[in-house]
Structure 1
Amino acid sequence: MSDLTEDDFLGGRLRLRQPSKGFRSGMDAMLLAAAVPARPGESALELGCGAGAAILALGARVPGLTLAGLELQPAYAALACANAALNGFALEVIEGDVAQPPPGLRARAVDHVLMNPPYYDRAASTRAEDPGRDLAHGGPAPLSAWLALAGRRLRPGGILTLIQPTARLPEALAGLPATLGSAEILPLAPRPGHEPRLILLRARKGGRAPFRLLPSLPLHDGPPGPDGKDFAPWAVSVLRGGTSLPWP
C-alpha cells in the first residue's frame, strides 16, 4: 500500500502508518481500546482490525497481552503487521471474513474480543471513492455475524467490547447470541445534555447479571473551545495518556 501517513496516537506512545486516502482510524479506535478491561497475561482478538489501531492501542496500555486480529482486506492486514513491528508488538493478523472464519481462527479461544464493525447501510448511503475505505464503512457481513463470531471465540467468562453509533444499539442488542449476557451499555455524548452519538457495549460469555444502561459520558466539557479540542479530563487521559476508560 503506497501513499501512507505516519500518525501519532496516545500522546506519541503509538505510531501508525495509514493510507492517506483510504480508511483511517481515529478517536473511535482509541475509545474502543480504552474500554477493554484486559489484564496482563490475557489474550485479545480484534475482529476487523484494519491497520491495527485499536488492538495495538490496547497492547500499548496493557503489557503482556497476546494480541491477534482478523482482517478481510489483505493490504490492511499487511499494514497492521507493519504497524505492530513499528511499535515493537507481537501481533498475529489472520486474513479472512467474519462470515466465513478461516481455519486458523476456528479453534481459538480468547479472553477479550473487541470490534468496531462497518456501520453504514449500503442501501441508504453514498459509497466512498476509495474501495478500502468503502468496505470498512459498509461491509457485506451483518452485525449479527460479527457478534456470533465473538461469542464463539470467547472463552467462558470472556468479554466482548464493541463501539458503534447509537442508532445501531437495537441491532446490536438483538444480535447478541444467547451465550453473551450481563450486557452493559455506556453512551458517549459530545457534551453534557447532548444526545449520545456513540455507544460502547460490553457483554460476558456466560454472564447472567441484569442488563445495565449506564449514564452518558460526555467527551467534551463545557462550551466549545476555540480549537475544537476541549476534551473532558477523562477523554484527555484516555486519548493522550493512554489510560483506561472510566467505566462506571
Structure 2
Amino acid sequence: MARLNWGVTEPDTLDAFLGGRLQIRQPRRGYRAGVDPVLLAASIVAKPGQSVLELGCGVGTAILCLGRRVPGLDMTGVELQPDYANLARHNAKANDLPLNVITADLRALPAELRQRRFDHVIMNPPYFNRGAGTSAIDPGRDTALGGDTPLTDWLDIGARRLAPKGYLTLIQRIERLPEALIALQGRLGSIVIRPVAGRSERAPGLFILRARQEGRAPFRLLPTLVMHIGATHDGDKDSYTPQVAAILRNGADLPMTG
C-alpha cells in the first residue's frame, strides 16, 4: 500500500483501531496515537445528531473513534499543526466519516467557531508542562506532548464552547488532576473522575474527567479502570482486561457512572 507524506519527518503508517473498523494514518515518527484517545472516545455519552468539538485533534483518532461508535454526529476538530490536520482530513475521508478539521491555534479560533456551541467538547491536552523537562527532538511530538498552551487555557476555551448542559471530557496525567479541578472551579459542575491504572496493584497514571455546563450533581470519583491483567507484564501475549479489550477492539462504551 502506498504511503502518504504530509511533510512529516518520514512517510506515515496505516494503523488499525477498534478491531480494524477504523484505519488511521499517522506519522511514523513524532506523536503517535495509542490507547488514550480510544479510551477518551469511549467515555463520551453522545447521541446521533449531537455536535462534538475536539480541541487538539491531531490526526483525528479520538473523534473518529467516537464517530465510528456513534453515527450521525456533527464533528469538528481543531489542530494547530498543519501536517497533523491534513492527516486528520485524510483519515476522515478514508473512513467515510464527516469531520470538519480547522487548522488553528485554540487560543485564536476563527470567528465562525467562536460563535458556535457544542454538545460535547473533548480533548487530550499535552501531558507535560512545557515549563518542566526537556523538549522532544521531533517538533510535532514536542508540540503534542508539551505544547505551550497551559492546561487552564485548554479548559477555559473548552468550557466557552459548550452549549447549555453540554459536556467537557478530557484525558490527562494523574498529577495534573488538581490543576484541572482548580481550573474548572466555578465554571463547570457535575464533575466525574475515572482514574486509569496500568495494573491493579499500581497507582493510577491517568484520569478521565467529565464536567457539565450548568451541572449541579456532586463530585464523583469512580472505580479505577485497570488496563492489564496481572501484576507484571508476562511476555508478548495480550494482557488487556476484558473491559479494556472490548473498548479497544469492539468500540464498547466506557461508562462514566459507577
How does the TM-score come out when normalised to structure 2? 0.93
Aligned partner (choices 235, 240, 247) of residue 249 of structure 2: 240
Once the two structures are superposed, residues 131-184 of structure 1 have per-residue CA deviations (whole angstroms, 9 ceiling, x without a partner) of 111111111111111111111111011101100010110111111152310101
Q: Which moved more, 1:162-171 or 1:95-104?
A: 95-104
Aligned to 1:43: 51
**Aligned equivalents of 1:238, 1:45: Cα separation in 2:** 21
Letter in 1 for 2:252: T
In 2, distance between residues paired with 1:218 and 1:231?
A: 9
1:218 has 2:226 as partner: yes
Output the aligned Cα RMSD: 1.2
Distance 1:112 1:70 in 2: 14
Residue 190 of structure 2: aligned partner: 182
- CA offset at residue 243 of structure 1? 1.1
Cross-structure match for 1:92: 100
After TM superposition, where is structure 1 displaced by more than 3 Å over at least 4 residues in a row? none
Structure 1: tracts of 5 or more residues without a match:
none
Paired positions, count: 248
Q: Structure 2 stretches of 5 or more lacking a match?
A: 1-5
Q: Tell me if structure 1 keeps the 8 A contact 2:159–2:188.
A: yes
User: Are 2:129 and 2:150, in contact at CA under 8 Å, matched by a contact in 1?
Assistant: no
Q: Which residue of 1 aligns with 2:3?
A: none
Distance in structure 2 (CA, Å) of the matches to 1:180 and 1:98: 19
Provide the C-alpha distance between the structure 2 equivalents of 1:116 and 1:228, rounded to a whole number of angstroms. 28
What is the TM-score with the length of structure 1 in the denominator?
0.96
- SS of match in other structure, 1:236: helix
Q: Does 1:122 align with 2:130?
A: yes
Question: Structure 1 residue 27 and structure 2 residue 35: aligned?
Answer: yes
Query: What is the identity, as a one-letter code, of the residue corresponding to 1:123?
Result: G
Q: Is the 8 A contact 1:95 1:102 kept in 2?
A: no
Q: For residues 1-80 of structure 1, what are the structure 2 equivalents within 5 Å? A: 1-2=6-7, 3-80=11-88
Q: Is the 8 A contact 1:34 1:245 kept in 2?
A: yes
Is the 8 Å Cα contact of residues 53 and 118 (structure 2) preserved in structure 1? yes
Q: CA deviation at 1:120?
A: 1.3
Distance 1:65 1:244 in 2: 16
Which residue matches 1:148?
Answer: 156
1:23-53 deviation line (CA, Å, top 9, x unaligned): 1111001001101111111111100000000
